[in-house]
Chains A and B, each alone.
Chain A
Amino acid sequence: MTVNNGKLRIADRTFSSRLLVGTGKFASVDIMRRALDASGTGMVTVALRRVDLDRPTDDLLGAIDRTRFVLLPNTSGARTADEAVRLARLARAAGCGDWIKLEVTPDPRFLLPDPVETLKAAEVLVKEGFVVLPYLNADPILAKRLEDVGTATVMPLGSPIGSNRGLRTRDALEIIIGQARVPVVVDAGLGAPSHAAEAMEMGADAVLVNTAIAVAEDPVAMAEAFKLAVMAGRQAFEAGLGPAGARASASSPVSGIVGEPA
Chain B
Amino acid sequence: MGSVQGKQPYIGISETSGGVDLEPIPWYNIKIMVVTVNGRQQECAPGCTLAQLIAALRLESAAVVAEVAGRIVPPADYAETILREHDHLELVRFVGGG
> Chain B residues in contact with chain A, CB under 8 A?
37-40, 57-60, 63-65, 67, 72-75, 90-98
Contacts and interface: CB of A to CB of B under 8 A. Distances in A.
A48 B93 CA distance: 6
Contact of A49 (B37, B57, B63, B92): B92
A47 interface: yes
Interface in A37-80: 45-51, 53, 56-62, 71, 73-74, 76
B94 A61 contact: yes
Given A59-B60, A61-B63, A93-B74, A53 B95 contact: no
B96 A32 contact: yes
Nearest to B77: A93
Nearest to B75: A95
Contact of B91 (A25, A47, A50): A50
A181 interface: no
Contacts of A48: 65, 92-95, 97
Nearest to B93: A51
Interface residues of A, number: 38
Given A94-B65, A95-B74, A47 B94 contact: yes
Given A22-B98, A57-B60, A211-B98, 7 more contacts: A24-B96, A32-B96, A48-B65, A51-B92, A53-B57, A59-B63, A95-B74
A170 interface: no
Which of B38, B67, B92 has the largest count of A CB atoms less than 10 A from its CB?
Answer: B92
A22 B72 contact: no
A46 B63 CA distance: 13
A197 interface: no
A208 B97 CA distance: 12
Which of A26, A56, A58 has the largest count of B CB atoms less than 10 A from its CB?
Answer: A56
Contacts of B97: 22-24, 45-48, 74, 76, 210
A24 B94 contact: no
Contacts of A96: 94
B96 A90 contact: no
B65 A74 contact: no
A86 B90 CA distance: 12
A10 interface: no
Contact of A25 (B38, B75, B96): B96
A51 B67 contact: no
Contacts of A46: 94-97
A8 B57 CA distance: 42
A60 to B, nearest CB: 5
A74 B98 CA distance: 7
A161 interface: yes
